[in-house]
Structure 1
Amino acid sequence: MLEIEARNVVLDGEAVAGCPAGSYVRLSVSDTGQGMSPEVRDRIFEPFFTTKEVGKGTGLGLSMVYGFVRQSGGYISVESAPNAGTTISLYLPRANQEARDEVETEQTRAMPGGSERILLVEDNEDLLEVVSAMLTSFGYRIRLAHNGTEAIRILDSDQGFDLLFSDVVMPNGPNGVELAREAKRRNSRIKILLTSGYVGDVLARHGATDEFPIIHKPFGVAELAQRLHSLLQKEDS
C-alpha cells in the first residue's frame, strides 16, 4: 500500500533532525513494503548508490530529489526499518517564511560554496541534471554542456568561466582530458576538475596521470563541495 499526504506543519526545531523551527509544507510518501536496513537507509541520497542490479538503475533518482529539496531550502527525513515499511517526508518552507538563510542547516553551512562560474560537461543527461542541482545549491553559477564539442563552442564564445568540471570518458568528440587542455589554451587561469569512474586507462593513454585534479565517481555532496572550494581558492602557481 502506498499513502501520500500533504499538510502544513509548524516545527519547533527538534521534530526533524537538522531542521530549524518554522512553518513548512510536509509532503510524505509511505509504503508498507520490506523497508530498508540502517546501512541502506543512510546511503539512499548518495549519487550513484543503488540496490538494483547493474544496468537496472542509475542511483540518481533520490539524489536528484535531495538536490532539488535542498536547493529550495527544504529538508528530508526518512523513517524505515526491515519489514516495517518506509516513510519519506519532504519539508518545504512556507512561502510566507523569512529569508532563506534562516532555514539553512548546520550541514549546509558547513559545506563551502561560492559564486564563481562553472562550465559543467557530462554526456549522461540524468547525471548532468543532478550534478547541476548540487552545484547550484552551493551557490555557483552553472553553464551546461552535453559533450566536449559543445563545451569548446561555449568556451570560444565565453571565456569568463572560473572552473571547468568535466567527465573524462565522453564519446563522439574530445574527451575530458582533451577538453581540459583546450580550455587551458583559451584561458590559462581557468581551474580544472575532472571526474569519472574509469579514469586510469584514459589518463595514462593521454599522458595526463598527474596533469589535472580528479574526483572519482561516485562522489558525495560534501566531498564535491570541498574539492571545488579548494580548487577555486587555490592561487595559480
Structure 2
Amino acid sequence: MAVQPNEPKKPKKPKKLCPKVILEGTRLTRKTDLAFALNEHPGLVGTRRYRYHSPLISAEWSAFSADPWGRGLINFAAEETELAMETYRTWARLFELQRYYSWIVDRFHLSTEVFQASQGRHHDFGWLEDRLRPLGFAVVLCLRDPDTFAEARRERLRISAKPEQYDDLSLFRVEQERLRAAAARSTLPVLELQVADRSVAELADEVADWLAARGLLGTPDELD
C-alpha cells in the first residue's frame, strides 16, 4: 500500500547503532537508573544474545579529590578550572576519535555550567557543543514536578550512603529550573523528560523513540 502524502514517514533504521546521549537533571530525577536502562535498551543497542557493557561515563565522579564526595568535573574549585577544561577537551577528543561508538553520559557540561554559575563563575561551553553536535550528541533533561521531590527523597533515603545531601530540597528545585534554562540555550537537541510516577522502562522507551524519530541512533555520517 502506497504511503499517502499526509502520512508521516517512518525513520529509516540506521545501519549501525551508536547513539550518544547526555542525561542531565538535578538529583532525585532518576538519571543513573535511566542511564543503565538505556545502555541495555534494544532500541539503542540492538537485540543482544548476552549481556556486555557499553561506555557509561559521568561528570559526577569526584575525580579531582581523594574524598568520597569530593570535587570533580561539576563542582571543581576556581583553581582547578584549567584541570576541568582540559578534562572536557580530553573527553571531546576521545568522542571524536571513537565517533562510531555509543556513549551514555550521566551529567556533563550543563550541570557544570549551572553549578559553577551558582559560585559566581561563568563558563561558556559553546566550543564543546560545537564538537559534540556533529557527532550526534543529544541531551535528555530529566525533570520532576517540584511537589514530587519529597516522595523521591523518602525512596532515596532507604539506600543512600550520605542522606544529609537530601536535607534541603529547595536546592534541587532551584537547580532544576537553572538546568532548564541552560538546556534551552543549548545548541544540541534536547528532550525534556518528566520522570515522576513512571517506570524506568517507560522512560527508556520514550528516549529511544525520540532518538529514532530524530535520526540520532545511527552514525554521525547519517545525520541530516
**TM-score band, normalised by shorter chain:** 0.3 to 0.5
With normalisation by structure 2, the TM-score equals 0.38
TM-score by length of 1: 0.36
Q: Which structure carries more helix by proportion?
A: 2
Hey, which of these two has a bigger chunk of strand by percent?
Answer: 1
